[in-house]
Amino acid sequence: MTMHRRAVERILILASALALANPLAGCPTERKPTPAPQEPRARARARARVPVAMRNADRAPGPKETVVLRAHHRLGVPLHPRARSRAISGRLPHGAVVRVLAERFGGKWLQIRAKSGKTGWIVRRYLAHRTRARRAAAARTPGRHPPTGSAVVCPPPPARGPHVFNVAEVPRMRSAGTGRKTPLPATLVVASYNVWELYDGYGGDRYYSRHHADSLTPTDVKLRVAKLAAELRSAKPHVIAFQEIEDAKLACRVAAKAMPGVRWQCAAGVWKKRSTPQNVAIATRVGGTARILTPRSGFAPRGVVELELPGSKLRVLTVHLKSSRGARGYRDCRNANRRRALADAIVAHLRSAKGAALVIGDYNFDPLRVHHDKTDDVLRKARFASLRQRFYPAGAPSSYPTYRSTIDLAFFRAGGGVTATTFKILTRARVNRWTSDHRPVVTTFKLR
């Protein structure tokens, strides 16, 4: 008991000493606010160097502010009944001036009212004046950004050896239609059509673009095949080059619908097999030898399908070059180099070939508007002439109306007595979500 009492006394003495050393220990102290997290020094310094005009160019517009809309599709800017809604209550045209009523979700969704009184919610990316503000601020700050437009000079691609193809001849092409093969005519008609993601609807296929039809089922595919064939029927082509198509079976389905009563043969290069298999194919009703040209070492996302007509007078090569996917100026240099690499490989492949050659398809760039892309220069140096510039010297209609550009092109190298007589863009072809976002192009050649 004595030892226990002494221990308790020692504890009390220590407690008293601590209380005398810190007299405010038992009193409630004022809680200090937690300091806000500071911005990293490197980011703060980089932000301080950016002009104020550029810093505020992407801010969300405040209420009662007037803005200009920029449509990303020919249908216009979609209006939604509420924020984050997929339902579309209406549309406004490109360039419409509207007033901002409210904003939600950090300014990503804006409630606007047009001059006509129409109201709704839009996504912030449809504002046009924000982009102009950033460009104006960048122009006032020389050296901040690389130039765009005609002033862009892309650096040369890294040296990785010559670009060549692995050539594989198609031993047996897929057939469709009834009747016999059409004999080689004196006037040959070649059509090219980007059929905008024509898949069979099996194996988890899905549309990459959000402007397509609402569903992708075999029944929808059957309807699309009939509509696409109707756009080609008036041209009466002997050879059809397809882009953004899954396989040779679908190519034959479209060709047989476009020109029934004849026998079609089709070949396709299947380089993409996932849920969005965008490949190229070719269909012929005059026979010929088909070859699949696959890029060695993968310098391009897709290869080329070549058709050598009977008698080796003309070779038709269908291409679908690398897309820019919205990249402009110096940001498009990597895509431009890949397009140029495919052109280099085509020139090397045809260097020893005799006769005429036609390289037709979706080039994914307009040579008259994109000057940093040297793909057309590579073909011109190899004696390929642009049929668009020859037959539309005053300007061609757009083959890609969504962006008002002509990217479906044909380059022709004469030889073997073959001459090109016409090159037309079928402006009457319907452009909608059930057919295609491209228009077909048709070329005519005189073989004899």
**CA-atom Rg of the chain in angstroms:** 32
Lowest mean per-residue pLDDT among 53-62, 91-100, 196-205, 388-397: 53-62
pLDDT at 18: 62
Residues 239 and 118 reside in one and the same domain: no
pLDDT tier at 61 (50, 70, 90 boundaries)?
low
Q: Which residues, 6+ apart, have CB-to-CB distance to 390 below 8 Å?
A: 420, 423
The reply to whether 103 and 231 lie within a common domain is: no
Looking at residue 19, its pLDDT comes to 59
Domain final position from 135, 157, 183: 135
Q: What is the DSSP letter of 421?
A: E
Q: What are the tokens at 269? A: 């290069």
What is the helix (H) or strand (E) element at residue 295, kind and residue range? strand 289-295
Are 176 and 121 part of one and the same domain? no
Q: What whole-number distance in Å separates Cα of residue 217 and Cα of residue 268?
A: 22
> For residue 80, what are the domain limits?
57-135
Q: What is the pLDDT of residues 102-129, one digit of tens each?
A: 888 878 899 999 988 899 999 988 887 5
Averaged pLDDT for residues 127-143: 49
167: left (phi over 0), alpha (psi -120 to 50) or beta: beta
Q: How many CB atoms lie within 10 A of CB 5?
A: 9
- Non-local CB neighbours of 113 within 8 Å, separated by 6+ positions: 98, 99, 101, 119
DSSP 217-269: -HHHHHHHHHHHHHHHHTT--SEEEEEEE--HHHHHHHHHHHSTTS-EEEEEE
CATH number of residue 280's parent domain: 3.60.10.10
Question: How many CB atoms lie under 10 A from the CB of residue 253?
Answer: 24
Domain shared by 107 and 245, yes or no: no
pLDDT given at position 45: 52
For residue 399, which of 358, 357, 356, 443 has the smallest C-alpha distance?
443
Give pLDDT tens digits for 152-193: 788 877 777 789 999 999 999 999 988 888 899 999 999 999
User: Structure tokens of 363?
Assistant: 């080039």
Full-prediction pTM beyond 0.75?
no
Tally Cβ neighbours within 10 Å of residue 321.
26
Count of Cβ atoms closer than 10 Å to residue 211 Cβ: 14
Q: Flag whether 150 is in a domain.
A: no
Give the C-alpha separation, 329 to 135, whole Å.
13
Residue 78 pairs with which residues in a beta bridge? 91
Are 254 and 131 members of one domain?
no
Domain annotation covers residue 42: no
Give Cα 409 to chain centroid, integer Å.
17
CA nearest to 346, candidates 292, 387, 293: 293
- pLDDT of the residue at 158: 74
- pLDDT over 70 (residue 9): yes
Which of 135, 153, 173 is the endpoint of a domain?
135
Say what percent of the chain tops pLDDT 70: 81
- 227-278: per-residue pLDDT in tens? 999 999 999 999 999 999 999 999 999 999 999 999 999 999 989 877 889 9
DSSP conformational letter for 206: -
Q: For 377-423, write each residue's pLDDT tens digit.
A: 999 999 999 999 999 998 899 999 988 899 999 999 999 999 999 99
* Whether residue 424 sits in one domain with residue 383: yes
Mark residue 278 as left, alpha or beta (left: phi above 0; alpha: psi -120 to 50; beta: remaining): beta
| Same domain for 327 and 213 | yes
Q: Tell me what pLDDT residue 55 has.
A: 43
| CA dist., res. 418 & res. 22, Å (int) | 104
pLDDT at 147 (0 to 100)? 46
Rounded CA-CA distance 247/278 in Å is 9
Q: What is the CATH number of the domain that holds 81?
A: 2.30.30.40
Single residue among 135, 150, 181 that ends a domain in this structure: 135
Mean pLDDT for the stretch of residues 40-66: 52
Q: For residue 104, with 0-12 CB atoms within 10 Å meaning exposed, 13-18 middle and 19 or more buried, which class applies?
A: middle
Q: Evaluate whether 304 touches 269 at the Cβ level (below 8 Å).
A: yes
On whether residue 26 sits in a domain, the answer given is no
Give how many domains the chain has, as a whole number: 2
Task: Report, as an integer, the average pLDDT of 356-365.
Answer: 96
pLDDT at 345 (0 to 100): 95
